[in-house]
């Protein structure tokens, strides 16, 4: 049964509340670090927690982007792709938050700001049409893969738990990019990707500390 416009508003608002309160639950993949251990000193623990906080905020932004794109997409198939990708990203969000708690730290206080900003960007991408919309997913996810590779280099060598989480996330993000291009996504030129990476640095630099 198709959802009415009001039903969609209620569902989206409910998802916002669950994301902001940390009430989303992992529904598909098991926690990738459950069989890993990490022996960290104080400095390494702090570094790991800050890196995982950045990744958690990235997943908050991903939820908002996909939500915005799904809201304004005019194509039911494209909307379904966005909604499915958001569900996949739910696991990442939960994993990062769990790891942050294990490290004795907190999620970023800036998450609401980045959520609203990402929701607006996603809605704009969706309104520009399916090709642009799907291409935006691919370009974003390619950037995330590069970001995760950078964080895997920066993680303390002994933090195998955080490493296992980021490796699992990296694999999923690559699949999302490939799926978007397979379904007709626009291949964004390098200059646009550079601008997108520069914008993402605003989030990564600020949430590392706050």
| Distance in angstroms (rounded) separating the CA atoms of residues 44 and 54 | 16
Percent of the chain with pLDDT over 90: 21
| Distance in angstroms (rounded) separating the CA atoms of residues 70 and 85 | 10
Q: What is the pLDDT of residues 40-54, one digit of tens each?
A: 888 899 999 999 999
Q: What is the pLDDT of residues 178-209, one digit of tens each?
A: 888 888 888 888 888 888 888 888 888 899 88
- One of 3.30.390.50, 3.30.930.10, 1.20.1260.10, 1.10.10.60 is the CATH number of 39-207, namely 1.20.1260.10
pLDDT the model gives residue 153: 92
Helix axes 76-102, 130-154, angle to 10 degrees: 20
Q: What is the pLDDT of residues 58-69, one digit of tens each?
A: 989 888 888 888
pLDDT the model gives residue 16: 57
| Distance in angstroms (rounded) separating the CA atoms of residues 177 and 136 | 9
Angle subtended at Cα 198 by Cα 83 and Cα 112, rounded to the nearest 5 degrees:
50
Q: Please say whether the beta carbons of 77 and 183 come within 8 A.
A: yes
Flag whether pLDDT at 2 surpasses 60: no
The SS3 call for residue 105 is coil
């Amino acid at each position: 049964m198709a959802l009415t416009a009001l039903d969609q508003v209620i569902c989206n608002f409910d998802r916002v509340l669950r994301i902001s309160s940390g009430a989303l639950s992992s529904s598909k993949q098991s926690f990738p670090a459950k069989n890993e251990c990490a022996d960290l000193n104080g400095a390494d623990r702090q570094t790991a927690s800050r890196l995982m906080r950045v990744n958690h905020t990235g997943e908050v932004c991903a939820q908002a982007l996909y939500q915005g794109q799904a809201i304004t997409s005019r194509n039911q198939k494209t909307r379904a792709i966005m909604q499915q990708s958001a569900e996949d990203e739910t696991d990442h969000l939960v994993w990062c938050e769990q790891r942050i708690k294990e490290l004795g730290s907190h999620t970023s206080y800036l998450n609401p700001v980045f959520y609203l900003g990402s929701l607006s960007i996603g809605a704009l991408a969706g309104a520009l049409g399916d090709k642009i919309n799907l291409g935006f997913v691919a370009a974003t996810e390619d950037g995330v893969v590069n970001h995760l590779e950078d964080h895997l280099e920066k993680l303390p060598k002994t933090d195998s738990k955080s490493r296992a989480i980021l490796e699992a996330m990296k694999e999923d993000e690559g699949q999302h990019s490939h799926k978007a291009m397979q379904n007709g996504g626009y291949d964004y030129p390098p200059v646009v990707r550079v601008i997108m990476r520069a914008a993402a640095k605003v989030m990564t630099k600020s949430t590392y500390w706050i």
